[in-house]
Amino acid sequence: MKRLMTILLLAVWVSLPGLAQHEHQPRPSPTEAPPIYWVLVAIAVIAIVWFMLWALYGKMRPSRMTTTSYHALGALVIIMTLFTLVLYIIPAQQAQELPPTARAWDWKPGEVLQDPTGSGLSGEPYRGYLVYLANGCIYCHTLYLRPEDIKTGWAEGARPDEVSQIGDFVRYPFTMLGTQRDGPDLTVIGRKIPDMQYQIDHLVDPRRFKPQSVMPSYRYLSERELRDLAAYLVSLGNDPQKLRAGVAPAPAPEDPKIAKGKELYRSLGCVACHTIDGSRSTGPSFKGLFGDEVEVTLPDGTTAQVTVDEIYLKEAILQPGEKIVKGFPNIMPSFAERVTESDLEALLEYIKSLR
């Protein structure tokens, strides 16, 4: 009776994953498995049930064990282990043979990437990938986006169409998806911050841009390693073909003020949170910002519509906590201590120029 109860209890426990059906797994179903898989599963299930019944109710005659039967059972242990290995090798084989997606990462050893901001910096993304490995970035950062990450706070600024697919990875010699996130996912970091100089500065001193950051300083990396690593980061989330084609060096802005503003945008780290191509990141994009209508939350919790003018922009930079753009967190640091009046002018001119 006790034994039967135990078996029943176990059966309930085992059916739990079935009950907790996975609404969070919007991917193809188990019917993909090759038929041989189902045959193997059926055999395994029958063997397990039979074995458990035997172990619980069967006759035990250990005296009949001989050295040969011990060897046979020892071989069985190894066979069971290898059996599951084969089950893993089947999908592994399938996965590495899938066709690449259009945006699949695709950089060969030795290939050089030019900084898309036109700064003249360059590096080898493939080698950067190896630098990433050698320095253990994988223990705080992941390199894949789950469907779950889009609605939640895991991957700020990532778009639903950027959820990772098998084909995205086929050209990687090995993968470093990662199991832990103590920092943000980096799958699309290059699309968000396509600026090698910023990436290098951030690696050397992360808290210069993000005061709360717990990321270690990697200032010990050699110049070349930093450049390669930055090139790798910039290659993430960007179409390799476009990056290869390179950018016509952006026409140097006529106005020296705008040029200075552009430089400040990078060196102060605005680039970490604001894009200039209209896409969302940690903060709103600067593109077309000036003159736009935005909805903001005031400190007392009420909301208001404001038009973006110079006064608003100044306030947004000096006292960012005063008006919070709706849909964004209140994490922008105040730059009141760090910018002079003329810096501020330059930044405003630059933002205004981004139509």
Residues that bind ligand HEC (CB under 6 A): 132, 135, 137, 139-141, 182-184, 186, 189, 193, 199, 202-203, 206, 209-210, 213-216, 218, 229, 233, 268-270, 272-274, 282-284, 289, 294, 308, 313, 316-317, 320, 324-325, 328-332, 335, 347
The 10 Å Cβ neighbour count of residue 206 is 20
Query: Where does this chain touch ligand HEM (CB under 6 A) — which range of 177-185, 210-218, 222-230, 327-335?
Result: 177-185
Least separation in angstroms between CB 173 and ligand HEC: 18
Q: Residue 118 binds which entry of ligand HEC, ligand HEM, other proteins, none, with Cβ cut-offs from 5 to 8 Å by kind?
A: none
CA-closest candidate to residue 122, choices 269, 239, 234 = 234
φ, ψ dihedrals at 305, nearest 5°: -95, 130
CA–CA gap between residue 135 and residue 150 (Å, rounded): 28
Least separation in angstroms between CB 156 and ligand HEC: 9
How does DSSP classify residue 305? Answer: E
Q: Residue 336 binds which entry of ligand HEC, other proteins, ligand HEM, none, with Cβ cut-offs from 5 to 8 Å by kind?
A: none
- Using Cβ positions, the residue closest to ligand HEC within the complex turns out to be 183
Window 182-201: residues binding ligand HEM (CB under 6 A) = 182
Can you read off the two tokens belonging to residue 120? Answer: 């003249």
C-beta of 203 vs 231, nearer to ligand HEC: 203
Least separation in angstroms between CB 232 and ligand HEM: 22
CA–CA gap between residue 327 and residue 282 (Å, rounded): 10
Q: Are 239 and 249 in contact (CB under 8 A)?
A: no
CA–CA gap between residue 285 and residue 351 (Å, rounded): 10
Least separation in angstroms between CB 294 and ligand HEC: 4
How does DSSP classify residue 20? Answer: S
How does DSSP classify residue 289? Answer: -
Window 125-144: residues binding ligand HEM (CB under 6 A) = 139
Q: Residue 25 binds which entry of other proteins, ligand HEC, ligand HEM, none, with Cβ cut-offs from 5 to 8 Å by kind?
A: other proteins
Can you read off the two tokens belonging to residue 112? Answer: 């050089």
Asked if 180 is part of the footprint of ligand HEM (rule: CB under 6 A), the reply reads yes
Q: Could you tell me the end-to-end alpha-carbon distance of the chain, in angstroms, rounded to an integer?
A: 78
Query: Where does this chain touch ligand HEM (CB under 6 A) — which range of 153-161, 178-186, 208-216, 330-338?
Result: 178-186
How does DSSP classify residue 123? Answer: E
C-beta of 183 vs 253, nearer to ligand HEM: 183
Least separation in angstroms between CB 299 and ligand HEC: 11
By the 10 Å C-beta count (0-12 exposed, 13-18 middle, 19+ buried), 314 is classed as: middle
What 3-state DSSP class applies to 113?
strand
C-beta of 179 vs 222, nearer to ligand HEM: 179
φ, ψ dihedrals at 51, nearest 5°: -65, -40
C-beta of 231 vs 344, nearer to other proteins: 231
Task: Give the footprint of ligand HEM on this chain (CB under 6 A).
Answer: 139, 179-180, 182
